[in-house]
Structure 1
Amino acid sequence: MATKNATKLKFDNLVKGYKDAFPFYQVLDPSGKVVDRGLEPNMSDEQLTELMRRLVWARTYDRRVTLLNRQGALGNYAPGGGQEASQVASQYALGEGDFFAGTYRDLVPLIMHGLPVEKAFLWYKGHMDGNNYPEDLHAYSPQVIVGGHITHAMGVALGMKKRNKKNVVLSLNGDGATSQGDFYEGINFAGVYEVPYIAVVQNNGYGISVPVEQQTQAETLAQKAVAAGIPGIQVDGMDPLAMYAVVSYAREHALAGKGPVLIEALTYRFGPHTMSDDPTRYRSEEELTDWERKDPLHRMRKYLGDKGLWNEEKENEVVEACTEEIKQAVAAIGQADKQKISDFLKNMYEVSPQNIQEQIAEYEAKEMTDHE
């Protein structure tokens, strides 16, 4: 039976109407025109040119690796074309010693964080050496489990705080990660302990083939930060300058001891979820065309072209350099040692239990015989 006060309880509108409560930031509109001078980052000509170089490198990498996948030279690939601003500009805003944690789609920013291209290609092929990082590379290997690295990234940030390190942790996540328990646990814990953590949610509209509106009733993904008591904002994820600006500000916020920030980047992947996916089954050609008009490279070409900082010749130089790097990496992975079962077993534990030691000995003997 309804209580006599039921008329005072108006549930219908309690979860609606919050979209305008979360600020949306943009510096460059799709035509490359500056629409917010106050947010425009104070970058030198050299920094702007370097950011553009990285964006072009990323697009070239995406196209070349897509071809390598189709040729059977590499394993399954998750294209990143279209998401260069949310990936590359976010990583570019980091400082020396900052930590990076990305997904299987974020190999390019990981490479720009210090991972050799050869290592990235070995990872695509499932080779153990693709996860063998030097100690001075402050990053996790790409996470395939959706949302699985968020708690790990938060843990690194907590360690930084306890050691009084003046660094932050940046994680790149997809929109699907916000539907996972790890996401809520990670941002809640990060908020409680006010750790220096920046969570960039790359909302490209789909979790594989599931549109965001079928993943959540929330009007924004940024508002999910409210439950954790941390700031949540939206940014044009196709705008490199806006991404660089908001991540830079979030970094300053975190380094000041004010805790984590959740950034929802509204972006789009031009290609399929992975090379085994057919996006034409769940999205229209008109939708793709509309997003292609918002291409981050188009915006930056116009913006830098007007400043006299970029031209076709410079872009071609980057394309040629990236193509050569990829060619060399492909040749290098062809020389990688063949993987052995005994090595897989050795990597399972720091100190192998007796049964694993016995299996290692068994396989080593077999491998020796096969080699002879």
Structure 2
Amino acid sequence: MSRVIFSINQCSPVEQRLLRALRAMNWNDNWPAQAGFFLEEMGFGSSQVFAFNSLIETIMQADPGFDLLGPLSPFVSRDELNLLAALGNASRKASNALPDVEDGLPAVLKSLVDTCGTALRRAGLPMKTRATLQNGKALPPMTSKILPFQGESSMRRVKVLALHAPTPRVRRIVLGGYSLKSFAVDLPAQWIKVFLPGPTEQQIGRAFTIRDFDTVKKELTFDIALHEGGPMSDWALRAQVGDELQIAGPRGGFKGVDEKSWLLLACDDTGLPAIAAIVCQLPAHLQVQVFIEVADETERQFLAVQPRVKVRWIYRNGSADQPAETLAEVLRYSPLPVRSGDAWIAAEASTIRAIRTQLLRDRGFELGRVHAAGYWKRGEQDHRDLAAG
């Protein structure tokens, strides 16, 4: 069947904003990193963002021909209009039963549509009343069984081989074990989820960036930034060689940049292992500016960098010759190249939002070239950000 598209002006402002986010989740380059921000700007929390992500993953897995256009397209496809109709119907329901038009959908997809519709209703985002197109399809006519989207790779059992303290507030953990024989790291800044021992239904898991993976010894190294009251932080302080853990992954990662341009890297303590892994693999000719916020001078770590990489350390508690500063403040006033470049940023979620807005609005960065991930969120345990991959 030939492709059918319409003017996006047929959609309400809410639908247009939602479409932009849904499309970004299935697009290319750094666009998926923007989807979470688009949804947060509409009033959705991180768990709801992942519900929309799972919806798109499931649809595209079941029907790769489902027509999601580019994030900035001025058109809308028939498939997209029918998806909006399904979400609109679900958002206006008070019960868990979906309208008759969706009765033919697999249970997993019905559940996801309903979950996303509930999120729309709770966020107070009225969807336009519309019927599915009679000459189209409500959603993909999926006849085969659809499995739920699995976000984690299979679990691997590992042991602690070594423990180090590169700075007072960081513990470096080296893991090994037979299960890592088939483990592979494809990109710098990929992350794993680490699970403490315990009953499966009670296991505590947190995401950590892979600082290094020794492909010969099959040993994986990651850092834990210590903070009061965190279960992984508490474990790291009492951990011993021989302790057993489980890990899942890897996922995410730094996918590279335009080598003819320049690169901005910025992070706080939690993103430092990612930047350490990234700078090791950058081409020598690339101009790079790195900004790293840590507590004080004692938290500085050695970074192996190329000659064209400039590193600025920022101390939020100040030092003998440097006042207390924050990552967002320093970036706001630091001179950067005038031409548009690429940016990779990882820090606390609200800080990331402020920096992302600053780069796009005041610094002239292009939307698809800013990768900004909230590695943690103040007041929230086990924060998940779609931009982290």
Query: What is the TM-score when the length of structure 2 is the normalising length?
Result: 0.30
Which has more helix, going by share of residues?
1
Higher relative contact order (CA 8 A, sep 6+): 1
Which has more strand, going by share of residues?
2
